[in-house]
Structure 1
């Protein structure tokens, strides 16, 4: 049987962004293996028929002993399973997995960049970045290796470092897709207060501080008329994470509510009037793709990844990075204009149908898997 091994940094990301793809690969006749950090959701993966391996992977840590342990475990798994194709998602799995795949001569390699991560965000330069670039240059110089980027900006940035070569094949797929039947269009809700949703991990790089400042600017005028919902977990492993005390100091459970991680995004988006994400950089934010599918106007930043989800003035607004004043201004426009929220929401759904359908995304992945297999 043809074997594929999907390597991801953490189980919840695999579930939210890759589980549907893995299930379709099973139906297509692949024997599917997956490894990811275990946060307690591994049964959700195993119950689908996927063979899952817990992998102790720190997403941002650089403790040399922990990293060597992770590296050895990936090596052991790849050497034991001997997959025909490996699909590595996110920066650290790509760097470690590609090096190992080249070392033990796995013939088919697919690397998916879901954004470039903390190391490349906000114009950071570091020794770690230099080392990662060198490892990628070495590991990517091999036949039968393909890449998926969610936007052209990430590809161009890495290309400037000279890490790709003529044998590499580059694919562009807009995100992990959304099930347009499951995330069906829902008309604007009839809330007593306008609900504005921020659905993301609680990170500074997601624009959480700018959103806080924007809520403070709007508070005097809209305290009784608006509720900001913060839906996302604290990410203590991430260097850009904010503390629980930061969130509790901000949230008053009336004007601002922090409700933590939520599995039922359909209900949450459906009950919201506006979706906001003032991120510094994304691959292709799933929260905005889902917002488009359900039909919500979006206010986000004019940065890599986010701007692919919004046509300015048609289904939302794009604001400059870190500009909390303009963020507040654009939110206020939508707060005051229900007709605009309705029309922009309809345009969001249209955009989702044209660009973000899950079926199209899954079929493209399966085509790439088959192409890699045929060249083995």
Structure 2
């Protein structure tokens, strides 16, 4: 027996990049897969995979109740039209308004809390209201999936969701074949500083890479401040940023700010991409000084490709890193501590960084293989079959 499935998120980009494995597995098993999100360039690749694409306008950072009610109404009408056997929701607005819409449409729904974001990082009337809405929405879900222990505890202890409806997943899974081990980046020139046989004391030519939407909550400002410090001491060290600026989020960083950093010579902005692998392969270390994550996908992908990591000691980052073994943890919101660790890594021999990257890939293979997460989707589909 096959079941039509619908996935709803705030971007097709996230559906394609983070859930492509489960989608491919469900399609291969004969389950029709529908996807719903605001229009972007990843709608077409999803359609090419075999998904039925539904473009749903959604104001990601809007706080207008009429807009949110409109979103809930649009999703209700979509669910009534498609009649999926189950809806999977991701990110704040689909989790809240999609779950309520699915309840009224009498469609079972599973929510995945991919991260708590500014709703739980900051305290305001708006964030308190959002928590109340979570409580209402999650009262009617079939299951609620969480990606780290702290987020799970926050929702359960806060009375936002019943413990019996929750499941803790090892992230959204990584395809270890797609994110294969990458060769260590070639030195910039013969006997360049980052070559294993470089002369002792030579200034290292290390490339650090931050992959994230350009948000203050991702620690981008701390990364830039630390880069400014290190570049003054070690001009051969490069700091790259890959990700979208001017995104719809209350903590978004503008392209104007990014351009100013580039003119200053502090960072190299790489823009956006549909494939992060060449950029990870070209980096010596991937950095994410985030204030909080669900479970960082970029850290998992970089570790899978055997790159050492530097990230903050916060939920969703610390889960990926064995401190001192696969990477390093630093305090959040602390540019000086981040700079100190970047300096240490820039001075480490390449052979040590290679070993650290290999340990990271082994950790991902043990704990975060995509097959574990794909099995959860099929477990839900199996429960639907049992109830028929």
- Per the TM alignment, residue 255 of structure 1 is displaced from its structure 2 partner at its CA by 5.3
1:202 maps to what in 2? 214
Q: Alpha carbons of 1:165 and 1:356: their partners in 2 closer, same or farther (altered >3 Å)?
A: closer
1:169 maps to what in 2? 165
2:25 maps to what in 1? 24
- Per the TM alignment, residue 248 of structure 1 is displaced from its structure 2 partner at its CA by 1.0
2:81 maps to what in 1? 80
1:284-328 deviation per Cα after TM superposition (whole angstroms, max 9, x unaligned) = 111100111011110100001000111110011100011111111
Answering whether residue 97 of structure 2 is matched by residue 96 of structure 1, we say yes
Cα separation, 2, equivalents of 1:263 and 1:22: 18
Most deviating of 193-202 and 170-179: 170-179
Structure 2 gaps, min length 5: 189-204
> SS of 2:36's equivalent?
strand
Cα separation, 1, equivalents of 2:357 and 2:304: 9
CA contact (8 A) 2:174 2:369 kept: yes
1:272 maps to what in 2? 283
Most deviating of 173-182 and 251-260: 251-260
Cα separation, 2, equivalents of 1:233 and 1:104: 35
2:137 maps to what in 1? 139
Map 1:1-376 to 2 at 5 A: 1-106=2-107, 108-121=108-121, 124-142=122-140, 145-165=142-162, 168-192=164-188, 193-223=205-235, 225-252=236-263, 256-338=267-349, 339-375=351-387
> SS of 1:52's equivalent?
strand
- Per the TM alignment, residue 375 of structure 1 is displaced from its structure 2 partner at its CA by 3.2
CA contact (8 A) 1:227 1:254 kept: no
- Per the TM alignment, residue 169 of structure 1 is displaced from its structure 2 partner at its CA by 2.5
CA contact (8 A) 1:99 1:135 kept: no
Q: How many residues are treated as equivalent by the alignment?
A: 370
> SS of 2:10's equivalent?
strand
1:102-135 deviation per Cα after TM superposition (whole angstroms, max 9, x unaligned) = 22222x32110100122112xx223333333333
1:258-307 deviation per Cα after TM superposition (whole angstroms, max 9, x unaligned) = 01112221111111101100000001111100111011110100001000
Cα separation, 2, equivalents of 1:89 and 1:112: 5
CA contact (8 A) 1:206 1:278 kept: yes
CA contact (8 A) 2:138 2:144 kept: no
- Per the TM alignment, residue 373 of structure 1 is displaced from its structure 2 partner at its CA by 4.4
CA contact (8 A) 2:146 2:168 kept: yes
Given the two structures, how large is their TM-score scaled by the length of structure 1?
0.94
Cα separation, 2, equivalents of 1:373 and 1:318: 44
Cα separation, 1, equivalents of 2:314 and 2:152: 14
Cα separation, 1, equivalents of 2:253 and 2:131: 28
Cα separation, 2, equivalents of 1:253 and 1:178: 36
Cα separation, 1, equivalents of 2:161 and 2:232: 52
Cα separation, 2, equivalents of 1:62 and 1:314: 43
Structure 1 gaps, min length 5: none
